[in-house]
């Protein structure tokens, strides 16, 4: 099979590992990755970086426009069309929303230039929103247009798959597979001594961690309030990230907690495995809003791969992602979050048990190989 994949996610070599694993599992597979010139992100601007596992002929950077978000960018149609004619794919897999400009452009050009190629999408959307006029009708039209020409949609979570059938009217094949995987080897070995010394300082208190965007919907204020009520139990907390809540953390919660709370800037994907190994507990206390709900929570998978027990809210996909590797509390319920943290802080044996079960779950479901195999199985009807 000749597979052409379109998606801004693959600007980053970390994400490309899934398709490297797919090439290993299916040597006869020919893959082309198509990415824009850049993509803005809350922490940085991503630019193309090709993994060593792909040759120049397999990694295609196409001139792009409006790269402010993944919804607005599109590719130079002449250059993209030339690539489609030359590659002659059997399947075009679009890892963007069908109502995005790039999603609609890819479907349109594929139908014109590669009419025999099968089309498929990967989506994250697990919230049935109704955008205001005129965006609502436009998005619904583009979604119907894309899905009507596709035989497969892979969703990153179970709720997204349910909405495909019940709210979006998709009648083709569906399955649930994470978008990207992890390398277990990155999470083996000892925690970095320098980070251990800097974050723990020789203190035996369990270290709780949060990595991500510092925005209200990630539940950070709920987390701080929960911690403020845990008395008589030693703990430390490290928050890694940036965002609108940075100032509140610095001015309100840091003075309250003192040395128990450490604030760190965002880190790259390659640094996360080492940092996760320093933690004793990882927490993701997100809550849903009318416009957003947790779609996966990659940091949970990363924590579990490192053998770190997790505490997560009931928001969106979090309970499914954690599986047996964590404790679930009702989102926005500070008392339940506080009790979940307290129970793990006082029980090293329970932390160890959850860490083992989470690691086993991650090895079965979240490795590059596992994600690649599940995606290949979804594509299997092509053969």
pLDDT tens over the chain, length 383 residues: 999 999 999 999 999 999 999 999 999 999 999 999 999 877 678 999 999 999 999 999 999 999 999 999 999 999 999 999 999 999 999 999 999 999 999 999 999 999 999 999 999 999 887 777 777 788 889 999 999 999 999 999 999 999 999 988 899 999 999 999 999 999 999 999 999 999 998 789 999 999 999 999 999 999 999 999 998 999 999 999 999 999 999 999 999 999 999 999 999 889 999 999 999 999 999 999 998 999 999 999 999 999 999 999 999 999 999 999 999 999 999 999 999 999 999 999 999 999 999 999 999 999 999 999 999 999 984 44
pTM for the model stands at: 0.94
Look at the block and give the residue holding tokens 């190994």. Answer: 277
Give the separation between CA 199 and CA 285, rounded to whole angstroms. 21
Asked if residue 173 and residue 234 are part of one domain, the reply reads no
> Number of C-alpha atoms within 13 angstroms, CB side, residue 213?
13
Domain containing residue 292: CATH number: 3.40.50.2000
Provide φ and ψ at 16, rounded to 5°.
-65, -15
DSSP code of 314?
Answer: S
- Which pLDDT does position 293 carry in this prediction? 96
Closest CA to 40 of 8, 13, 15: 8
The answer to whether 284 and 310 have CB atoms below 8 angstroms apart is yes
The answer to whether 358 and 304 have CB atoms below 8 angstroms apart is yes
- Which pLDDT does position 187 carry in this prediction? 97
Asked if residue 202 and residue 140 are part of one domain, the reply reads no
- Which pLDDT does position 242 carry in this prediction? 95
- Which pLDDT does position 213 carry in this prediction? 95
Give the separation between CA 155 and CA 158, rounded to whole angstroms. 7
Asked if residue 118 and residue 70 are part of one domain, the reply reads yes
Domain total in the chain = 2
Asked if residue 322 and residue 214 are part of one domain, the reply reads yes
Asked if residue 246 and residue 106 are part of one domain, the reply reads no
Asked if residue 322 and residue 189 are part of one domain, the reply reads yes
Asked if residue 212 and residue 75 are part of one domain, the reply reads no
* Sign of the CA dihedral with 354 first, then 357, 360, and 363 last: negative
Contacts of 81 (CB under 8 A, 6+ apart): 109, 112, 113
The answer to whether 216 and 248 have CB atoms below 8 angstroms apart is no
Long-range Cβ contact pairs of 311-314 (< 8 A, separation 24 or more): 311/281, 311/282, 311/283, 311/284, 311/285, 311/337, 311/340, 311/341, 311/344, 312/283, 312/284, 312/285, 312/286, 313/219, 313/284, 313/285, 313/286, 313/287, 313/337
Asked if residue 245 and residue 157 are part of one domain, the reply reads no
Q: Which two tokens stand for residue 141?
A: 């039209």
- Which pLDDT does position 289 carry in this prediction? 94
Asked if residue 89 and residue 49 are part of one domain, the reply reads yes
CA-CA distances (angstroms) from residue 112 to 36, 84, 142, 321? 21, 10, 17, 39
Q: Which two tokens stand for residue 159?
A: 């709720």
> Number of C-alpha atoms within 13 angstroms, CB side, residue 2?
11
Asked if residue 238 and residue 92 are part of one domain, the reply reads no
- Which pLDDT does position 382 carry in this prediction? 47
Range of the domain at 163: 2-181+367-382
Asked if residue 175 and residue 220 are part of one domain, the reply reads no
- Which pLDDT does position 380 carry in this prediction? 86
Tell whether omega for the bond before 301 is within 30 degrees of 0, i.e. cis.
Answer: no
Asked if residue 346 and residue 204 are part of one domain, the reply reads yes
């Amino acid at each position: 099979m000749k597979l052409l994949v379109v998606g801004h996610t693959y600007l980053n070599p970390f994400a490309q590992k899934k398709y490297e694993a797919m090439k290993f599992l299916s040597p006869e597979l020919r893959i082309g990755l198509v990415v824009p010139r850049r993509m803005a992100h809350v922490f940085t601007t991503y630019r193309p970086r090709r993994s060593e596992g792909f040759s120049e002929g397999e990694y295609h950077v196409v001139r792009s426009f409006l790269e402010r978000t993944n919804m607005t960018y599109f590719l130079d149609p002449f250059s993209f069309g030339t690539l489609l004619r030359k590659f002659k794919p059997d399947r075009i897999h679009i890892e963007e929303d069908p109502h995005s400009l790039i999603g609609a452009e890819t479907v349109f050009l594929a139908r014109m230039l590669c009419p025999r190629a099968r089309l498929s999408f990967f989506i994250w959307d697990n919230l049935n929103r109704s955008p205001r006029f005129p965006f609502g009708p436009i998005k619904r039209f583009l979604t119907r247009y894309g899905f009507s020409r596709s035989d497969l949609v892979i969703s990153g979570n179970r709720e997204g798959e349910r909405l495909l059938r019940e709210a979006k009217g998709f009648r083709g094949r569906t399955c649930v597979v994470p978008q990207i995987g992890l390398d277990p080897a990155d999470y083996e070995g000892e925690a970095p001594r320098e980070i251990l010394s800097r974050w723990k300082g020789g203190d035996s208190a369990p270290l709780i961690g949060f990595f991500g965007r510092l925005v209200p919907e990630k539940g950070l204020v709920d987390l701080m309030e929960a911690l403020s009520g845990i008395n008589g139990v030693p703990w430390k907390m490290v928050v890694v990230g940036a965002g609108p809540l940075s100032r509140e953390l610095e001015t309100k919660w840091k003075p309250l907690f003192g040395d128990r709370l450490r604030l760190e800037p965002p880190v790259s994907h390659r640094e996360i495995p080492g940092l996760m190994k320093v933690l004793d507990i990882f927490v993701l206390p997100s809550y849903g809003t009318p416009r957003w709900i947790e779609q996966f929570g990659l940091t949970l998978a990363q924590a579990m791969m490192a053998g770190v027990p997790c505490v997560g809210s009931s928001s969106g996909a979090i309970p499914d992602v954690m599986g047996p590797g964590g404790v679930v509390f009702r989102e926005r319920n500070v008392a339940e979050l506080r009790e979940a943290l307290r129970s793990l802080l006082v029980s090293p044996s329970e932390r160890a048990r959850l860490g083992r079960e989470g690691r086993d779950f991650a090895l079965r479901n979240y490795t590059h190989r596992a994600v690649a195999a599940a995606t290949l199985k979804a594509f299997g009807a092509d053969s």
